[in-house]
């Protein structure tokens, strides 16, 4: 009888150690920052489309509890297919009430020393501003990503 009880306790302990942790008790990992770069310009027009060829969708979240951040501000900029930065490829948008966003632009071009990339600067009240970049693969037409901001 004692062996059965010990075996059951060992099995319960093993199951507890391997059980997934609830998403609510674990904060989201913050998005890694990347460089601002020399081509950022503030005050881009409010819009969610600057071209066609690459769609970026996701949600802006708080690292504390993974909660969506409604009204977060995203500023986008990237090089055109020739690797040149143009004002037509700059945009500012706000997330919806669910923290979601969709941005569409041309597939970014390559310029000397850099792989194709899209810059984004995200800000929300009570959170640190995040500057990061997305690196689409050749031929990639869509990116699904969440941006996770740290609380101040």
Q: What is the DSSP string of 41-82?
A: -S---B-SBS-SSEEEEEEEEETTTT-B-TT-EEEEEEE-TT
Contact at 8 Å (CB) between 106 and 141? no
Write out the chain's pLDDT in tens, 152 residues.
Answer: 444 333 333 343 333 334 333 334 457 999 999 999 999 999 999 999 999 999 999 999 999 999 999 999 999 999 999 999 999 999 999 999 999 999 999 999 998 899 999 999 999 999 999 999 999 999 999 999 999 999 99
pLDDT of amino acid 12:
35
Which are the contacts of 100, defined by CB distance < 8 A and separation ≥ 6? 57, 58, 59, 68
Domains and CATH numbers, the chain: 24-149 (2.60.130.10)
Return the pLDDT at 135.
Answer: 97
pLDDT number for residue 68: 98
What pLDDT shows up at residue 6?
Answer: 35
Question: How high is the pLDDT of residue 27?
Answer: 76
User: Residue 142: what pLDDT?
Assistant: 98
**How far apart (Å, rounded) are the C-alpha atoms in residues 86 and 43?**
14
């Amino acid at each position: 009888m004692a062996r059965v009880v010990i075996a059951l306790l060992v099995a319960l302990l093993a199951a507890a150690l391997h059980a997934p942790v609830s998403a609510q008790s674990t904060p989201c990992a913050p998005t890694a920052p990347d460089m601002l770069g020399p081509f950022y310009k503030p005050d881009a027009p409010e819009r969610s489309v600057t071209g066609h060829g690459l769609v970026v969708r996701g949600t802006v979240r708080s690292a504390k509890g993974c909660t969506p951040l409604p009204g977060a501000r995203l500023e986008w900029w990237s090089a055109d297919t020739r690797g040149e930065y143009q004002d037509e490829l700059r945009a500012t948008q706000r997330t919806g009430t669910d923290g979601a966003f969709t941005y569409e632009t041309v597939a970014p071009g390559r310029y000397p020393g850099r792989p194709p990339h899209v810059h984004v600067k995200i800000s929300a009240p009570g959170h640190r501003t995040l500057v990061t970049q997305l690196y689409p693969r050749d031929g990639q037409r869509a990116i699904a990503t969440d941006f996770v901001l740290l609380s101040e």
